[in-house]
Every structure is written in structure tokens, then in C-alpha cells.
Amino acid sequence: MRTELVVAVLLAFAPSAFAGQGTAASYLQGLEREAASLGGFAGFSAARGERFFKTVRGDWACATCHTKDPLDAGQHARTGRDIAPLAPAANPERFADARKTDKWFRRNCNDVLGRSCTALEKGDVLVWLMSLK
Amino acid sequence: MARLDRHFGTDASVEPALAARIGAYLRAHAGAARRFGSASRISETAWFREEHDDVARATWKAPAVRSAANCSACHTQAARGDFSERHLTLPMETRR
């Protein structure tokens, strides 16, 4: 417990040492800033994120490949390729690399919605995913 | 490479700098059309079909495989570019 406290204090004062490696929480903070800058932002909602994730649009929902329970591994709807679990509790790498996360939001929102997801939509989904244990 | 956002029905786009590097690699190392043909899918080239001519139809349809794009279903080191038979594991019908 003492070691964790020391590490937490060091991390709080040395963010630049970890510039290359973020966390799901830091990615969420970035989304929060973006959503807030657009006006009318009243916070993210896990319930809204869950609905968004499971809503089928055209052929697919996010859940089509990532499954309705993102603690589970998924499968690509077309190629059959395995997809590691999306929820950070099941897969701690998720959302820790901002560029990788940006890339996959870009690709997969285009696949499912035919457009980019808004910061609000991404934040809602991420808040829901982070709530899964 | 110019249409990665429409890659066989999904968006496979990458950042422009990476797209340029991949494109340059492909141009520098492309095989002869005479040998590989001009199919847009690797899995539709005569070469691929010859390599996989002993794979049963049932195997392609197995839930653990499902498509010829799912290389790592059998080629366990595909993500590292290693397709050698040393690392080949055919899926069992009951897996997944």
C-alpha cells in the first residue's frame, strides 16, 4: 500500500516521464475537454454510451464485433478475426495509446455510423466501458 | 492504398505518413503480374489457391476461421509475418 502511494505521488509530479503512454482515464479527460468546448456539455453518461454501443445502424453496431459484453473477446463480423476484449478491466491496454485509439475510433465509427463519432459519443462509450468489471 | 477507407467494405485507413511508407514498400517489392495475376484479393491469386489447395472447404467455414482473411486462425505467427509451417496449427471443429 505504501509503495503504491509513493508511485502515485511520483506519477502526479512527473507526467512528462510517461508522455508516450497514456491511460484510459487520460484519454477520457481529453474527450471531456473537447466535449466541453462545444457548449451544452452536461457530462458523459454510461447508460447513453451502452445504448449507443448496442444500437444497430445499417448492418452493424459496435456490439456486432465487440459483443454485447465487452469483457468478452469479440470477432470481426466479416473476416472472423479474433478481437481482444474492449473493456479496460479485461484488457488493460485498451485506450492507453491515444494514437491507436484515435485510429480505431476513426475506422470503426466510419464502419458503423458512416461518419466520425463526436467527443460526446466517444466519452459516453468510454465511461460505460470503464464501468464494466 | 488510396482507398483504404473502403477496404473490402470496411475502413482500414492509416495516417498519411504510414500510408506513404507502406505504398513505397509495395511498389518496391511487388511481384510480377505474370506470376501473381491482378486479383485485388490475395486469397484470389493462383498462388494463394495453390498454397491452400489441401485446405478443406469445411475448414474455411469453421467458426474459428470463417474467411481467408483470417490468417492467424491457422498461421499462429501471422501478425509477425511468419507463415512457416512450423507455426501452423489447424483449428479443431469444436474450438470457439
pLDDT in tens, B69-96: 999 999 999 999 999 999 999 876 544 4
| pLDDT, averaged across chain A | 90
Residue type, A4: E
Put simply, the answer to whether B11 touches A108 (Cβ < 8 Å) is yes
Put simply, the answer to whether A79 touches B69 (Cβ < 8 Å) is yes
Put simply, the answer to whether A107 touches B12 (Cβ < 8 Å) is yes
- Give the contacts of B45 (CB within 8 A, at least 6 positions apart): B36, B37, B39
pLDDT, residue B95, reads 45
Give residue-wise pLDDT tens across range B37-66.
778 888 998 889 999 999 998 999 999 999
For residue A59, give the chain B residue with the closest CA.
Answer: B9
**Residue A71, SS3?**
coil
Across the range A70-83, mean pLDDT stands at 95
Beta pairing partners, A83: A74
Residue type, B74: C
Across the interface, of A75, A103, A111, the residue whose CB is closest to B10 is: A111
Q: Give the relative orientation of helices A24-37 and A119-131 as an angle to the nearest 10 degrees.
A: 150
pLDDT, residue B93, reads 53
Give residue-wise pLDDT tens across range A30-69.
999 999 999 899 999 999 999 999 999 999 999 999 999 9
- Give the contacts of A7 (CB within 8 A, at least 6 positions apart): none
Q: Give the gap in angstroms from C-alpha B88 to the nearest C-alpha of chain A.
A: 16
| Gyration radius of chain A over CA positions | 16
- Give the contacts of B49 (CB within 8 A, at least 6 positions apart): B43
Is pLDDT larger for residue A33 or for residue A6? Answer: A33
- Is the pLDDT at A12 greater than 60? The verdict is no
Which cell numbers in the block locate residue A38? Answer: 462545444
Q: Cβ of A31: how many Cβ atoms within 10 Å? A: 23
The candidate with the shortest Cα–Cα distance to A83, out of A95, A67, A98, A97, is: A67
**Residue B7, SS3?**
strand
Residue type, A130: M
Residues 65-84 of chain A whose Cβ lies under 8 A from any Cβ of chain B: 75-76, 78-82
pLDDT, residue B35, reads 72
Buried b (16+ CB within 10 A) or exposed e, B53-62: eeeeeebbeb
For residue B8, give the chain A residue with the closest CA.
Answer: A78
